[in-house]
Amino acid sequence: MTGTVGSTIDFGQGQDDYVVLGDNAEVLPALPDKSFQLIYIDPPFNTGKSQQRISLVTQRSEKGDRRGFGGHNYLTVETGRTSYDDGFDDYLGFLRPRLEEAHRLLRDDGTLYLHIDYREAHYCKLLLDEVFGRECFLNEIIWAYDYGGRPKNRWPAKHDTILVYVREPDGHYFDQDAVDRIPYMAPSLVTAEKAVRGKVPTDVWWHTIVPTNGKEKTGYPSQKPEGVLRRIVQASSAPGAWVLDFFAGSGTTGAVARQLDRRFLLIDDSPEALAVMEKRLGSTRVTYLDAVNDSGTPISAKAIPTSR
């Protein structure tokens, strides 16, 4: 990509947020230095598998093979599916140039959150130490949940890791008071006043995945819950600040940023992801750009093929 899309994005007095369809390795170098107070990324986890999400709807039908409420038969119909390949021969080689761009794009008070799973977390920690410096390591957050299969030959893996690095040691923005408090696990051990107020979350976050029947579910594979992103955006960005997510997927970062009055730039190379984000975020104060065709003209997901 040349500078066309990069020059279209207005980091000044404009009111629009942005969603860009394109390879982040090409889009990121076109963005100006130190533009973002917060960068959150949830890259592919390198599971070596194809990640797929199938959307289903159950409807009443005499031909249905399931008996349900009132003794009626019901038929389950597939309404769509989304998928992406999640395997890399050189995963760290894939991440390194993108993390180097993230470092360049962070403001001096900026923070990076890298969301990864147990397969690659230790390797990514060493890579981030190289790119940011060990002195810029802030936290290892454990997001714990209780969902999915349970193997019988090992402890079930029920957590993700979020590695947190800052641009400048002791210079980062962090507003603890802005973070929603949570209940004490043992409220009887604290005063009544503290129990009512709740506590600030620690670096271990117990939070459900996106509920299968929840209103925020988009059907996109690997969608993360808004509650997890909400803590991140509340703590590490100020109202009005710019937030970047260049593995945007279903657009959860943008949805939360909008709720909390932050500006956002989302990047993804999947037309399917763009379609999900456009449905979720709408068109009011959001400009959609196509970096694949190097165009500064706003686009609609409806005009883009679902595969390239």
Is-contact 172 135, C-beta < 8 A? no
CB atoms within 10 A of CB 68: 11
Q: Tens place of pLDDT for every residue, the chain, 308 residues? A: 334 676 778 887 778 999 999 999 999 999 999 999 999 999 986 544 553 444 444 566 776 666 555 566 655 555 444 443 545 678 999 999 999 999 999 999 999 999 998 989 999 999 999 999 999 999 999 999 987 788 899 999 999 999 999 999 999 999 999 999 999 999 999 999 999 999 999 999 999 888 777 788 888 888 899 999 999 999 999 999 999 999 999 999 999 999 999 999 999 999 999 999 999 999 999 999 998 776 555 665 444 444 43
Looking at residue 179, its pLDDT comes to: 97
Looking at residue 249, its pLDDT comes to: 93
- Please give the Cα distance from 70 to 89 (Å, whole number): 53
Is-contact 26 289, C-beta < 8 A? no
Looking at residue 111, its pLDDT comes to: 98
Q: Burial letters for 121-155: b for 16+ Cβ neighbours within 10 Å, e otherwise? A: beebbebbeebbeeebbbeebebeeeeeeeeeeee
Task: Locate the DSSP E strands across 151-221.
Answer: 159-166, 204-206
Looking at residue 253, its pLDDT comes to: 98
Looking at residue 86, its pLDDT comes to: 43
Looking at residue 116, its pLDDT comes to: 95
What's the distance, Cα to Cα, between the start and end of the chain in Å? 17
Written as six digits, the tokens of 184 are: 């004490």
CATH 3.40.50.150: which residues of the chain?
A: 4-48+87-303
The residue type of 135 is: E
CATH number attached to the domain at 4-48+87-303: 3.40.50.150
Bridge partners of residue 267, in order along the sequence: 20
Is-contact 66 75, C-beta < 8 A? yes
Kindly state the helix (H) or strand (E) to which residue 103 belongs, with its residue range. Answer: helix 91-105
